[in-house]
Structure 1
């Protein structure tokens, strides 16, 4: 399959896909050796006799065939190589269609995931607003208060540990001694 035939297939099947513009190369400029050879073959023979057959290679100016018509021509061709390439092209196009459909499904799933994540973030924000706020003390206040309670308890001869929680009875006695202000 030639590049131009493959390009025609792709252009017909996927017309909306942007492609890099390929330079248009004249038919005879592909290979300078074959161009010279073709030129010699098309010259008039020196000896009278039958004329050489005209070059039937399609030019770039020919209108492109539809993909279906080109595949049908290739698959039905008597040359095994052309028929094989037609079958390969049909299989490749089927695979490309499958890959494109899969890519579209993945893009849809990504969009849905993004939408759901945004909705989840909004729900979490609402939930956080509705959650009751905890009363917190200023940093270091609890430690300073605990130190004061421990010092007061030791001065009164009450048993209290160096670390850990202070018994509720000691805290209540401290609050009462402070005049219930705290």
Structure 2
């Protein structure tokens, strides 16, 4: 089995140790992946996010950083929240997008997670072009996985075009 894989599906239905949430900086839910995770995961995720805001992240979680909570009612054990950067034609924010993946995997390692599922961070409302986001994400994960002991790092893509893009970079899925 390949350590890095791509599947087409719903990240909230993944049976993995940790799913990564493409969160907004408030950590309090939102649209897209973030909203789906909060809705399906239930109130425990929101309660832990509120506690994080009250303690360490009063101004919100900065882009590129990652923090974990329970997964509530999701089939995973943990949710790792990371805030992707908004795409900009004027400013290269690739390092921040790569940091989302590296830092999420660092949190997963600290938790003891052996399987992790990522969405296509920043490609929704943050407007990052899918092909570029995939190149950055897969590269960052390949770099991080070489240095650690994950059984599987899975990219979970909601639509066929995104799946095809990630799967091609990974070398098939």
TM bucket normalised to smaller: under 0.3
TM-score, with length taken from structure 1 = 0.22
Q: Decide which structure has greater strand share.
A: 2
TM-score, with length taken from structure 2 = 0.23
Q: Decide which structure has greater helix share.
A: 1
State the structure with bigger RCO (CA 8 A, min sep 6), 1 or 2. Answer: 2
